[in-house]
């Protein structure tokens, strides 16, 4: 954002310099030929400055464009890495859920089997005590 305001400031400075130089020369106590000659020299000088600033602005814009492309490529890489990590974690979670369900089913089966066996064992003990 600071670059934009600097460019506007420089453009305004150049334009103000041109206008100020032209007005100053028109009101200066010089002959018409001297004033016109000085105006030509100043306009050539200011035109050169404006061209330099335009080239610099173009160069800076190209640098910013290249930087934006580089950042876009880097952002894509990070996005792909994030998506891969997310997929990996989703798979791990699904596997953990499946293992948990199997462990719960095994424990349930074991507990159900023990409940069924418990009365049988208790019945045998009761029968042994009666005998």
**Residue 65 has what pLDDT?**
96
Closest residue by Cα to residue 15 from 55, 43, 57: 43
Closest residue by Cα to residue 31 from 19, 41, 43, 39: 39
Answering whether pTM is above 0.85, one says no
Give 113's pLDDT tier (boundaries 50, 70, 90).
confident
Q: Which two tokens stand for residue 119?
A: 């009365």
Buried b (16+ CB within 10 A) or exposed e, 28-56: eeeeeeebeebeeebeeebeeeeeeeeee
How do residues 4-49 score in pLDDT, each as one tens digit?
Answer: 556 678 778 878 877 887 777 667 666 777 777 877 888 888 888 8
CA distance 56 to 63: 10
CA distance 9 to 39: 23
How do residues 56-111 score in pLDDT, each as one tens digit?
Answer: 999 999 999 999 999 999 999 999 999 999 999 999 999 999 999 999 999 998 88
């Amino acid at each position: 954002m600071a670059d934009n305001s600097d460019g506007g400031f420089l453009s305004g400075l150049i334009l103000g310099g041109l206008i100020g130089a032209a007005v100053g020369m028109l009101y200066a106590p010089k002959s018409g030929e001297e004033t016109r000659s000085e105006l030509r020299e100043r306009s050539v000088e200011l035109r050169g400055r404006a061209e330099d600033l335009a080239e610099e602005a173009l160069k800076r814009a190209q640098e910013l464009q290249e930087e934006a492309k580089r950042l876009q490529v880097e952002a894509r890489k990070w996005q792909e890495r994030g998506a891969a990590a997310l997929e990996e974690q989703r798979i791990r979670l699904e596997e953990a859920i499946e293992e948990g369900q199997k462990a719960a089913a095994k424990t349930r089966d074991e507990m159900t089997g023990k409940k069924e066996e418990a009365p049988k064992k208790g019945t045998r003990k009761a029968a042994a005590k009666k005998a």
